[in-house]
Structure 1
């Protein structure tokens, strides 16, 4: 593979005009596709095979349109202290606001709080439920303004009015990642001391995510893609795109510095560092694509979209980057900024540097270093024991948001369960297939029987009268729990209804609604977490054993990955569940961690952790196979790779950290978890634990049983065979060209 990549690098350098034109055409085509083929993103949520999803499907069949993804809103009216919402002036203001919304565009229905008896027992709070005829992404701006204007009208009478529901949401947007991009630019300038050299990784990274985002946008015209998916794809694609280009550009500058011509330097850089990039990118793509086995559409689309951007970043680093080398020429070495005296990151000399001092300290005292590192990570991981998974609701929004205020007022006036009611769907036409002995004789009586049984359960605050469809085949009973939608008590209630509720003969009961759907989602993800982790860990072991011809290296890398994950989840719990450092970080305590986050983070961090393992240990193995003793090879490889790995890690931390300031709670949690995981993995696991372990085991680090060594193909990840072949080819005497005859 290294030889093939060497040829690709030389070709791209020599035919840079052709390569640049091809990529320009790809950019244009992707942009045109995004502009002409795109559709709206969708936040529809489905979990095939779960009871809540079966209930939604049944509602769609028996109550057409009832389970559609139409937008909704809740207007929460609170009377001033000492008064009631039923006072004439307040009631008139509420009715006027409801009428104003009802007369607005795109309305399906508006439930008046006084007619529906949605007034709190103490008379202090009233709720008006609004349902729109279109989904969230089809809401017109005048529709949203009508809702806000109605709220302002009611406030003029002295009422407190807050809004909740999907119609009040803002679609997640990009923007905060620019902060991370700016920090990445500073790190690259400091690393290379040159705007030309620093600009190339930035340019290729931005081009990669631009193409990836455009392709994802074009795909929305054919399939449903969630609004958060492009953001996550950009987050990951930008980070790895810059990092991959940084590794290759650093090696290219080294090849130029030792006197190789430009095309040869580009070929060798792609053949050596590029091989590591392919291997590292492949691990990320495999890990992200593996999310499809979980069977949850939202995770599948997130994994595949992120994998696409990573694959694009790899191809750009192998082709467009060497073409840019050709356009820049030797300016990557000569065009330095004033005041910068940056030495070659690949240089091997005796000058004292932080990497030389650090690796010297680690390898001299490996036991002490390992003890401190492992104990420290263990302490950081302790909060993980309190990890609580769920789907953040409006109760986790910032305290000053109208959604959070509406949530709190509703909970105070009616109880927390009003923020997450359950829908109990009674199938009255199960027949013989349901094992109940046929359809129900009296549908109304059967539905009332179910409602009465629900009212007897502990943890039920209110049971609304059943609603039957016209055919008498299905009834829907709204159940308000005594506890909030994210509480363990509500989860227990859902399980009790599903397993213990008495059901009339010929009927079946299904529990759904957003609260039940999120419970099913959390349980599905929780059940898949351990198998997925085992697959990822097993994959990492096999890939690293193949790459480094060693048993110790993959075992150490796998255990280090587990330490990284434990520490990252511990930090996540401490900040978002316990509220530590929330003020300093500018985030809010949510009380739980998004259910989709752990399995997604495992896939992403696995790939990125293997990146740093590959780039750092490759240089150590390269020194070892060139004849250095095992201990000296660790130090030599560390000095070669540490500076670039540190810069790459800081860039990735900056990019992910920029997303912590995103408005979406999900994006904040993912950005924080990834930033912490990269910091721990790069600086503690790969740059501290790895050299300590390799120094301890010595020659055994590179041992592999002979029978296994014969079975495994040699991928030459460090490019040593390529360099040997090229050096032999250079030294081989050339035959004089034969004189043509005739």
Structure 2
């Protein structure tokens, strides 16, 4: 680290110019980058193959949920009356003819009364459209509405609903855009940084964050030219990237101010800060990257692309923090550190005192921390994967009203997510009859070639479940359909949302324990090298897993069970957690929360190497980093709060999981459990087998003589007397 720091300080102008060019290029290309991002949810498995075959042969349907137009006739008429049914059929036929590639099933084409409400006044159709790669799904709703209203008989009412329309919410409530969310996070971060530094240095982490975000967008822009990158990456780069870069800057700048306050010349202070804080930043960034590497090996294009983009977030942030940041500190740091309303001469009195209390009452502190984490983790035991149900998406607006017309008339919401059974020609009627008798099936229809449901030797049977197939109960219904039909006479395969979710669960989460174990092992060895301790590294990994489980518990309790989602977000209980969210929370939270572990334990390790006293090391370490950790967590929390203002329920769930995990990790784990456990383990904290040290090439720190802990370095009342270097620090 010293060699790199000396290099960038010798070439300040070159380093600054290089990053300036990167930032300018990022600004100029960010629009094209976000435009090329996609929303490809293709997956492995039987359902995906069937969906692909349906789309290839019919040009529509598959896993793309249909639009559901709803017609309501005047009082005194019934949708099943021949004349009325013929008029309704003409309206739906007009929709089918309005654009190429549409396929429509309705009462007119099936004569199945399942398409009519119990009062007989409303009837609906299933309109299958070509697949869409846009983030909000298919965009043909305005055209369908325009055509239907033009063909609508006088006195009739038209409504349009569907999974995509409900997921996007009411038209008047689309949520904030990415730039607005970034501004919310940036303004909040500036307020926190101003409180931390009390000078114009508060602007510096935001500058580093901005350069990091633009640099990441620039590289991702290149990736979009050769592979698909999910639009979710756009949010993660802008918000998580900004938060991580600010975290790293916060640690380095705070250490630089501390060394300046200790009397070092400016460039010497920069070098010392980079040697200690810069090293911690590198290990922290590598840990975040390891967590995100798990996404790259997954057989799901969307998650793999999130892995590509996500790995770049910490790596680019680290690169900016260890190159551009020391250049700015060496060139303009002292001038920016004005009016210096806060200094770093002493550790935080609050956190030093807190650390001393925790150390003294280690058993009580550990028990309290574990009890809190246990309560937060418990709801995760009932976590269900799926997608938010219709009741948790649009709670007002035309799409909600159209769905309410159906459900109040006895038509279940499961019609929004039909299963598409691909059959051989001549078999659809028999397959439909077999499917209609299965438990949990509302109806099974085979409209035939006239409606576009037969082509080139195959036919499609639509199975309408009682429960939406994105919900756990609906998935069970679809699983029973698969069990009964797949492999049977004339059945090629079963596709649709529910079948795809089942395959996703088996494919991705089936190997999740193995993937988690491999990442935990890799992280353990990396942290063992960073902390020069087996015990500290092991505790760090275990605490991260505990924080992850707590985040899952909060998501489950808030959204799936609906305890606070309605009051805070206006979203009723979702009944399930979006299938990809737990994996995303794991990949990011496992690394992000490790930032705080590295920040705190690196400083505790450094203090222990100087004093050889566990209590002194804990008090000094937490006193120096506690305020930074809570401030960094607050900044990330603001980023996730701004993400939660999105109109997408999926992103609200993701932001809640990440925000809760970061908050709990910073407050309960790092400021309570970590110091308590260091106190409980005593000298065992520093154990490192010689053979492992040689394998990992860990250099032994220089031997330290009797080292007094200077009273000036500790808040009054916490300073302690010298201890002999030979004592290894007991509890």
Q: Which runs of 5+ in 2 are unaligned?
A: 169-173, 705-731
**Residues 65-112 of structure 1 deviation map (CA, whole Å, 9 limit, x = unaligned):** 2458889633223457876567999989978976886686x5544748
Cα distance between partner residues in 1 of 2:144 and 2:429: 36
The 3 A distance-change label for structure 1 pair 671 and 706 is same
**Residues 142-201 of structure 1 deviation map (CA, whole Å, 9 limit, x = unaligned):** 96544455677769947362433547876984133432322111110000001x201010
Cα distance between partner residues in 1 of 2:202 and 2:302: 36
Matched, 1:453 2:419: no
**Residues 635-654 of structure 1 deviation map (CA, whole Å, 9 limit, x = unaligned):** 11111111111211111111
Matched, 1:424 2:421: yes
Q: Is the CA contact 1:483–1:490 (under 8 Å) kept in the aligned structure 2? A: yes
The 3 A distance-change label for structure 1 pair 447 and 406 is same
Q: How does 1:378-527 map to 2 (within 5 A)?
A: 378-413=374-409, 414-426=411-423, 428=424, 443-444=425-426, 446-465=427-446, 467=448, 473-501=457-485, 507-527=490-510
> Residue 432 of structure 1 corresponds to which residue in structure 2?
none
Q: Select the residue among 603, 608, 621 that pairs with 1:637.
A: 621
Q: Select the residue among 320, 327, 339 that pairs with 2:324.
A: 320
Cα distance between partner residues in 2 of 1:644 and 1:283: 19
Runs of 4+, deviation exceeding 6 Å: 68-71, 80-83, 86-97, 138-143, 151-156, 468-471, 718-721
Q: Which runs of 5+ in 1 are unaligned?
A: 429-442, 722-742
Greater displacement, 163-172 / 547-556 = 163-172
The 3 A distance-change label for structure 1 pair 503 and 199 is closer
Q: Select the residue among 260, 281, 286 that pairs with 1:282.
A: 286
Greater displacement, 63-72 / 394-403 = 63-72
**Residues 342-379 of structure 1 deviation map (CA, whole Å, 9 limit, x = unaligned):** 121xx346xx8211221111011000111111112111
Q: Select the residue among 19, 25, 28 that pairs with 1:29.
A: 25
The 3 A distance-change label for structure 1 pair 152 and 316 is farther
Q: Select the residue among 347, 364, 368 that pairs with 2:364.
A: 368
Offset of 1:277 from its aligned partner? 0.5
Cα distance between partner residues in 2 of 1:38 and 1:231: 10
The 3 A distance-change label for structure 1 pair 456 and 591 is closer
> Residue 183 of structure 1 corresponds to which residue in structure 2?
188
Q: Is the CA contact 2:60–2:101 (under 8 Å) kept in the aligned structure 1? A: no
> Residue 127 of structure 1 corresponds to which residue in structure 2?
124
> Residue 673 of structure 1 corresponds to which residue in structure 2?
657
**Residues 13-34 of structure 1 deviation map (CA, whole Å, 9 limit, x = unaligned):** 4433221211122223344444
Matched, 1:699 2:683: yes
Q: Select the residue among 2, 5, 15 that pairs with 1:6.
A: 2
Q: Is the CA contact 1:47–1:521 (under 8 Å) kept in the aligned structure 2? A: yes
Cα distance between partner residues in 2 of 1:81 and 1:325: 76
Offset of 1:554 from its aligned partner? 1.9
> Residue 537 of structure 2 corresponds to which residue in structure 1?
554
Q: Is the CA contact 1:39–1:220 (under 8 Å) kept in the aligned structure 2? A: no
Cα distance between partner residues in 1 of 2:64 and 2:608: 63
Cα distance between partner residues in 1 of 2:540 and 2:257: 29
Offset of 1:459 from its aligned partner? 2.3
Counterpart secondary structure, 1:161: strand
Q: Is the CA contact 2:65–2:497 (under 8 Å) kept in the aligned structure 1? A: no
Offset of 1:496 from its aligned partner? 2.9
The 3 A distance-change label for structure 1 pair 133 and 284 is closer
Cα distance between partner residues in 1 of 2:488 and 2:543: 55
Cα distance between partner residues in 2 of 1:60 and 1:529: 30
Cα distance between partner residues in 2 of 1:67 and 1:575: 33
> Residue 583 of structure 2 corresponds to which residue in structure 1?
599
Matched, 1:76 2:57: no
Q: Select the residue among 30, 38, 41 that pairs with 1:42.
A: 38
Q: Is the CA contact 1:144–1:168 (under 8 Å) kept in the aligned structure 2? A: no
Q: Is the CA contact 2:71–2:158 (under 8 Å) kept in the aligned structure 1? A: yes
Cα distance between partner residues in 1 of 2:232 and 2:702: 39
**Residues 259-287 of structure 1 deviation map (CA, whole Å, 9 limit, x = unaligned):** 33332222222222111111000011111
Matched, 1:343 2:343: yes
Cα distance between partner residues in 2 of 1:91 and 1:474: 28
Offset of 1:288 from its aligned partner? 0.2
Cα distance between partner residues in 2 of 1:269 and 1:30: 29
Cα distance between partner residues in 2 of 1:579 and 1:132: 32
Offset of 1:222 from its aligned partner? 3.6
The 3 A distance-change label for structure 1 pair 295 and 274 is same
Q: Is the CA contact 2:380–2:549 (under 8 Å) kept in the aligned structure 1? A: yes
> Residue 157 of structure 2 corresponds to which residue in structure 1?
159
Cα distance between partner residues in 2 of 1:214 and 1:380: 39
Greater displacement, 166-175 / 413-422 = 166-175
> Residue 731 of structure 1 corresponds to which residue in structure 2?
none
The 3 A distance-change label for structure 1 pair 241 and 407 is farther
The 3 A distance-change label for structure 1 pair 587 and 641 is same
Give aligned pairs, total: 688
Q: Is the CA contact 1:83–1:124 (under 8 Å) kept in the aligned structure 2? A: yes
Greater displacement, 581-590 / 360-369 = 581-590
Cα distance between partner residues in 2 of 1:36 and 1:565: 35
Q: Is the CA contact 1:71–1:167 (under 8 Å) kept in the aligned structure 2? A: no
Counterpart secondary structure, 1:476: strand
The alignment's TM-score, normalised by the length of structure 2, stands at 0.85
> Residue 263 of structure 2 corresponds to which residue in structure 1?
259
Cα distance between partner residues in 2 of 1:655 and 1:590: 23
Offset of 1:125 from its aligned partner? 2.2
Q: Is the CA contact 1:74–1:130 (under 8 Å) kept in the aligned structure 2? A: yes
The 3 A distance-change label for structure 1 pair 130 and 54 is closer
Cα distance between partner residues in 2 of 1:115 and 1:634: 76
Offset of 1:411 from its aligned partner? 3.6
Cα distance between partner residues in 1 of 2:660 and 2:30: 33
> Residue 520 of structure 2 corresponds to which residue in structure 1?
537
Cα distance between partner residues in 2 of 1:508 and 1:606: 43
Q: Select the residue among 190, 203, 209 that pairs with 1:205.
A: 209
Counterpart secondary structure, 2:575: coil
Cα distance between partner residues in 2 of 1:78 and 1:10: 76
Q: Select the residue among 309, 334, 338 that pairs with 2:338.
A: 334
Matched, 1:621 2:605: yes
The 3 A distance-change label for structure 1 pair 141 and 550 is closer
The 3 A distance-change label for structure 1 pair 401 and 714 is farther
Offset of 1:407 from its aligned partner? 3.6
Q: Is the CA contact 1:294–1:528 (under 8 Å) kept in the aligned structure 2? A: no
Cα distance between partner residues in 2 of 1:627 and 1:412: 73
> Residue 356 of structure 1 corresponds to which residue in structure 2?
352
Greater displacement, 386-395 / 679-688 = 386-395
Q: Is the CA contact 1:659–1:671 (under 8 Å) kept in the aligned structure 2? A: yes
The 3 A distance-change label for structure 1 pair 542 and 142 is closer
